[in-house]
Structure 1
Amino acid sequence: MDHIMDLIGKITGFIWGLPMMLLLLGGGLFLTVRLGFFQFRYFPHILKQTFGKIFSKPDSSEGSLTPFQAATSALASTVGAANIIGVPVAIAFGGPGAIFWMWVVSLIGMAAKYSEVVLGVKYRQKNEYGEWVGGPMYYIDKGLGWKPVASFFAFALMMQIAASTMVQSNSLATTVEGAFNVHPAVTGIVVMLFIGIIVYGGISRIGKVAEKFVPIMVGIYITGSIIVVFSNASAIPSVFLLIFEHAFTPVSAAGGFAGAGVAAAIRWGLARGVYSNESGMGTAPIAHATAKIDHPAKQGFWGVFEVVVDTLIICTMTAIVILSTGVWKDTAPEQASTMVTEAWGQVFGNEIAGSFMTISLFFFVLSTVVVIIYYGEKQAEYLFGTMFSKVMRFVYVAAIFIGAIGGLKLVWQFLDILLAFVIIPNVLALLFLNKEVKAVTNDYFQNIYKKKDSSSSSDSFTKKAQ
């Protein structure tokens, strides 16, 4: 058994090394060029159409969720423990320069996130209940005619979510037990019931919960981080100097930090950027396909919004907290996950910081599990129909308790391999369907964006004439 586990570990390590990085980064770079660097050229417009319309009423288009509800539902699955733990790990092994490369790959990854959301909306369809459903399985099937590949994607993601749910649940139960001495079984039952109530209300209830829950969750974490950063305001200039300087030059060892070369900074920065916002992973378009929207490009902008919030805001804030307090120098790499708690402890005290981080992780994991269960249901629905999706919903909710008590750990070992089986067909589909994405993007900027500009100019001219 140990030999098998070692073999699985080696296979996983190889896949998630250079091959996966080249696929995700190369795919994002190709789409960025193919779409004319739209995320940079039209960035102010994208912000206006997303951040600027958070409180606007949705249009009368068909759909289950508002564009913002769809975005926060997708965001709920990406904003989580990785934002608090993943960034410190990147700094521990890659040094401050890893953050620069995290920014680079995230800016490039916006094109992949935008593309998959556009395709998710373009190829969505209604199920037997009259609900919009979509995602990679539909645009691989309908857009490319690759039915077997679409089925392979759906099956791999359906299985991957079962494993992921157990891992998330176990991580949560272990954290709560360590902080508050609550037995994992109790945590498992409470979480199972809480999530069961939400997911049995369908995507509409998930969207309503995410719309209120995610902004509060993110807002509290950002507020606390800002307080820590401002208490070390004098260090902020040196933080950005460290990031830019060591993106291109090695950083020497200091305290518990073992030092890092440029190659390590690039490797860990790219990995953090790729994994933090799930660009190209194919999960986000499943939620976005339910949006009330009249043009796929408009919803695609909300995909860019997710990258901005998840990586450029939350991950960056975590990095500044760690670097400005200096904890990265004094913490050994194997203890990297404690860096944020230690940094907060300098301002709020260790006990309060520890409790707050545990509670934050608790809610981050809850939001993630709620949304990925919906993703899993939709794969089951695509493969075997709506009745089987209800069966899988029960399986996923039960997996929460099984994972909390540490059951079926053998399944967890296949998590990263299953995720690779999900990503590879999705990114290939994005590349083969690039003409479709290009056509949708051109249509928006030529027929909607320019007309709005000319209309506003005309209105402005008329007012001046009067």
Structure 2
Amino acid sequence: MLQTIEAVNSAVNNFIWGVPAMICIIGVGLYLSIRTRFLQIRKFPYAIKTTIGRVFRKREASDGAMTPFQAVCTALAATVGTGNIAGVAGAIAIGGPGAVFWMWISAALGMCTKFSEVTLAVHFRETNARGELIGGPMYYIKNGLGKNWRWLAALFSLFGVLTVFGTGNATQVNTITTAINSALLNYHLINEDAVSTSNLIIGIIIAILVATVLLGGVKRIGRVTEKLVPFMALIYIVLSLGVILLNLNRVPSVFASIVEGAFSPASVTGGVVGSFFLSMKKGVSRGIFSNEAGLGTGSIAHACADTKKPVKQGFFGIFEVFTDTIVICTLTALVILCSGTPVGYGEAAGAELTISGFTSTYGNWVSIFTAIALCCFAFSTIIGWGLYGARCIEYLLKEKSIKPFMVAYSLVAIIGATADLGLMWSVAETFNGLMAIPNLIALFLLSGTVARLVKQYFETEGKTN
């Protein structure tokens, strides 16, 4: 049975993440960049100034909404997760160091893609029966493209519900158990025989915590993420910079291997990874897994923001992709490649490879800190994706379906704690690809609306900036 699932998933995955998908993802990002005259580069200083300024502005949101800061923290909670730690490690192991280069390329275009998603989500959002602001790809398809396209909105929501269980939950819990068990084994607090029991206990605890947060509604989600995200990012960035500074002499050769490996993987990996397309595929797919540009999911959180300016909120999309991929994913790659930890090219790898990068530099004592950071990353992702799944199921089956979904979503944590990592990542990657298709079609068709909104924004208050 397991072999059949692996075979089917492999076939679908290879098709979805084949040449057509690469062309669509990069093509739509390039097309949106052209329509907005490369806004993500042209207005990058303005985007950073606007977003950072609003991050430190404290205010309360109206009922049924989040503050813009809470919205970006919820979106970052979902994006800054195991894709940054386990995902990058897996991409390097399977695609070679060159996969990092293709992450950068996908992020450069993805900044404009995510800007467009957030802008459209805020522009076309609605208010539900509970007085909450709701939006995302299904709503900008429904309200932006008209009734003849509602089947596409339903398709996105369906894939969204299926995706959140793997991408947003199971893979994240698997990373948490890996991080905690690595720390416990390093300190000889448990032995190998006790790992399965430890996994089960961790899964049950996470399930209870997730249910507690999600069932508290959108405001509780916002309050948790605005505290958790800055804390976890700071710990991880400080630890990562320490590894790089202690191995500064290796940095030039690591960057050289990333660029060389992007076009000639075999020359860097000793021939184990010899496919240029494999390196590109892993870099782009894991990059999207990490920053979600093209999936449309992050826009669901931003639609909850208490703001009347879609374009201004859209700049948070640029900020998110830059923070997630250009900053944090690059730090992870440098931790692995600068530390000198052995990389088994061609073999599946996850969070343990990143942890090894830290421990080989600092020693085993740091495993407790990396475990905490990894747990925060993963738990915040579970919360963010829980909101996404709730919005998708609400669109499909209305309000009565939300609480049953949240209970089921919480219980998946127990399954994720004991499942196979390799198959889990592969299935999550497949559903990510399926979810992107309806969203990319909508972004292409609504590109004119994005260009018009940008023009209007800078003709008014944005003109002087």
TM-score (norm 2): 0.88
Structure 1 residue 428: deviation in Å? 0.2
Alpha-carbon deviation of 1:448? 1.7
The residue aligned with 1:292 is 306
Counterpart for residue 153 of structure 1: 156
- Residues 160-169 or 105-114, more deviating: 160-169
Separation in structure 2 between the aligned mates of residue 420 and residue 272 of structure 1, nearest angstrom? 11
Post-superposition CA distance 1:182-239 (Å, at most 9, x none): 5222112211121122112111111111111011101101100111111112333333
Distance apart, 1:260 and its partner CA: 4.4
Q: Is the 8 A contact 2:300 2:388 kept in 1?
A: yes
Residue 356 of structure 1 is matched in structure 2 by 369
Q: Structure 2 CA distance, aligned partners of 1:297 and 1:78?
A: 20
8 Å CA contact 1:288–1:299 kept in 2: the answer is yes
Task: Say whether the 8 Å CA contact 1:157–1:379 is kept in structure 2.
Answer: yes
Give CA deviations for 1:21-79 in whole Å, capped at 9, x if unaligned.
22211111111111111111111101100123310245988861111210110111111
> Which of 1 and 2 has greater Rg?
1
The answer for the alignment partner of 2:354 in structure 1 is 340
- Match of 2:304, SS state, is coil
What is the letter of the counterpart of residue 390 of structure 2?
E
Pair 1:39–1:406, CA change in 2 (3 A): closer
Deviation track 1:244-277 (CA, whole Å, cap 9, x = no partner) reads 444445553568x836465454343333333320
State how far apart, in whole Å, the 2-side matches of 1:254 and 1:169 are: 30
Could you tell me which residue of structure 2 aligns to residue 400 of structure 1? 413
State the alpha-carbon separation in 2 of the partners of residues 272 and 152 from structure 1.
Answer: 23
Choose from 351, 366, 381 the match for 1:368: 381
Counterpart in the other structure of 2:282: 268
- Pair 1:404–1:4, CA change in 2 (3 A): closer
Deviation at 1:95, TM superposition (A): 3.5
Deviation, structure 1 residue 312: 0.6
Q: CA deviation at 1:130?
A: 1.1
Summarize the Cα distance change of 1:359–1:305 in structure 2 as closer, same or farther, 3 Å threshold.
same
Distance 2:5 2:285 in 1: 26
Q: 1:282 offset after TM fit, Å? A: 1.4
Instruction: Look up the match of 1:78.
Output: 79
**Matches of 1:381 and 1:130, distance apart in 2:** 14
Q: Are the aligned partners of 1:253 and 1:260 in contact in 2 as well (CA < 8 Å)?
A: no
Deviation (angstroms), 1:116: 0.8
Stretch moving more, 413-422 or 391-400: 413-422
- TM-score scaled to structure 1, two decimals? 0.88
* Structure 2 equivalent of residue 312 of structure 1: 326
In structure 2, C-alpha distance between the alignment counterparts of 1:403 and 1:242, rounded to whole Å: 34
Q: Which residue is 2:338 aligned to?
A: 324
* Cα 1:247/1:412, change in 2 over 3 Å: closer
| RMSD, aligned α-carbons | 2.7
2:229 to 214, 217, 227: 214
The offset of 1:380, in angstroms, is 1.9
Equivalent residues of 2:13, 2:426 under 8 A apart = no
For residue 459 of structure 1, what is the aligned residue in structure 2?
none
Measured in 2, the distance between the counterparts of 1:327 and 1:163 equals 29
Are positions 1:430 and 2:443 aligned together? yes
Structure 1 residue aligned with 2:165: 162
% identical equivalent positions: 39
Q: Deviations over 1:149-191 (max 9, x none)?
A: 2122212212322344244334434554454345222112211
